A and B are shown apart, each in its own frame.
Chain A
Amino acid sequence: MSITTTVPERPVYMPDSPLDFGAPLVPGQILLDEIVAPRDPWSGVVEPGDVLTIVDVGGNQSADCLVFNGDDTAERYSVPDTLTWQHNAYVDTGTVLRSNRGRAMMTVIGNEIDRQDTLGGACGKESNTLRYGHHTMYQHGCRENFLNEARKYGMDARDLVSNLNWFMNVPVDQDGVLGIVDGISAPGKRVALRADLRALVLISNCPQMNNPCNDFNCTPLRMIVTRPGPRR
């Protein structure tokens, strides 16, 4: 059904955008395989040992990501713990995503781009006013997506801590200047995360249209959970 609406135009990707929906990065029984539409939130539980592959279908589409202990959401992904334990500011293959209790939540076991970001945090309607001006206040943001998705699990704004941004490029220069620059991903590039505990993963398929975190072209994500091992 097509309706007439007076809601301001929502960004959609260019019809000629190349899309590559890819495949799981780790073979095994497929437990879940879902597409996240542009600008939508998503969540899912990944059991210990299972692997979540995130496919950057359209290339340079930021997948903002929070991880919680599925059995006790007071334990959640912690940027400082992740960085401090590995003594490095960037996320790459081998990075252990650590919780606010210092525990391993998930491990990056496959990564097809040079580095992933966990410094830049999530966008939001309110922070957009600082970054781009009050004329962007009406636009959608990752914080809205996270609030909507977190509510399903009894969580709220208190639980929206600093996050990961898969496929987003945030370099830090020697003077400490940092920011979001053109991406280094491409259609079909993937990252694979093995759950080290029962991981509740929240995703915001970033709707930002004011910086290059989505190539100014919001595209889908594909989420695939596999159980490694021979096919039964």
Chain B
Amino acid sequence: MVAIADQHKTGTLLDARQDARARESESSEYMPYLPAHKAPEIPEGVEPDLMVWAETVAPGGYTHKRVARGTRIRFTDAKGDACAHVLIYNAIEPIERLNVADTVKIPWQAYLVDGHPLLSGEGRVLATVCNDSSGHHDALCGTSTRAWNESKYAASASHGAAPAGAALFELGAAKHGLGVRDLPPSISFFKGVRVASDGDLQFTGGAGPGCHVEIVAEMPLIVLVANVPHPLDPRSDYIVGPLRVDAWRGHPTGPADSQFTAAPEAHRAYLNTLDYLAAQGIA
């Protein structure tokens, strides 16, 4: 085996700089593509110039972004084993963030479905779930903690073989000035859970490779994403696939969309979001 150091000539500053720059043309399975409109694949039907985010998140990896109101974020389960754990915050006032209890209670629905409003605790809609080809999602089990991963995989560090979702969220949050207290329960896409009549939580797995689901930003958002196994994944090994994230400029849900008035509770959530934004000149 050739030691990595033997493949590089880095004894002088000039050599070191040349060595570093020589790696520019290399590629990885897991990387952001910049600029986004030059990503190797653009979602079908999307005008490339509208792309603002294109990235493949590694198994056990995380990503995060501030996005504008109207941005449409598509998560794709590239190989059938991704699990996108997601937290969202109002980017203007991040003290407003996803409230999972309100997200299931107010629409009278415990399972995340196409059209589901993702609500904050402030009576507003942060984002809307749409264009869902998976139908296997979860709002009950949250992401994995270090304690969970230590008991299941005997590892949990963000840089180890079995990163805990909480450890990754902590890093993503820190890059937006947010701390541990800013990490409420999260939702996850691409692995389903159902509640039996006796309350038993039944893991229903994924829907296969290539499935996608989108969220539309109804206000400027901070988005945190951790790609780790669902806590109830019955496999004893740490198995998670690559997660593709694509986002492009689009339109928030408005009065012209059927979704705006599809349910009375969500309708008032959209009205509250518009009211909040209009008062500060944003919508």
Chain A residues with a Cβ under 8 A of chain B: 73-74, 78-81, 83-85, 87-90, 100-103, 115, 119-122, 124-131, 133-134, 143, 156-163, 170, 172, 174-180
Indicate if the CB atoms of A176 and B195 lie closer than 8 Å. yes
Interface presence of B50 (CB below 8 A): no
Q: Which residues of B contact A170 (CB under 8 A)?
A: 105
Residue of B nearest to A178 (CB): B110
**B interface, over-half SS:** loop
Indicate if the CB atoms of B140 and A83 lie closer than 8 Å. yes
Interface presence of B210 (CB below 8 A): no
Q: CA separation between A65 and B262, bound complex, in Å?
A: 33
Indicate if the CB atoms of B141 and A119 lie closer than 8 Å. no
B residues 165-219 near A (Cβ < 8 Å) are 166, 179-186, 194-195, 197-201
The residue from B140, B179, B268 contacting A89, defined by CB atoms under 8 A apart: B140
Indicate if the CB atoms of A130 and B272 lie closer than 8 Å. yes
**How many A-B contacts if CB must be within 8 Å?**
144
Given known A-B contacts A127-B106, A178-B104, A101 and B99 have beta carbons under 8 A apart:
no
Indicate if the CB atoms of A162 and B147 lie closer than 8 Å. no
Given known A-B contacts A78-B185, A88-B200, A179 and B105 have beta carbons under 8 A apart:
yes
Interface presence of B114 (CB below 8 A): no
Q: CA separation between A190 and B121, bound complex, in Å?
A: 29
Chain B residues with a Cβ under 8 A of chain A: 95, 99-102, 104-106, 108-111, 113, 119, 121-124, 140-143, 145-148, 166, 179-186, 194-195, 197-201, 231-232, 265-266, 268-269, 272
Given known A-B contacts A81-B142, A87-B200, A120-B105, A161 and B272 have beta carbons under 8 A apart:
no
Indicate if the CB atoms of B123 and A130 lie closer than 8 Å. yes
Could you say which of B104, B105, B110 has the most chain A C-beta atoms within 10 Å of its C-beta? B105
Indicate if the CB atoms of B108 and A129 lie closer than 8 Å. no
Nearest Cβ distance between residue A25 and chain B, in whole angstroms?
A: 22
Q: Which residues of B contact A130 (CB under 8 A)?
A: 102, 106, 119, 123, 265-266, 268-269, 272
Indicate if the CB atoms of A84 and B148 lie closer than 8 Å. yes
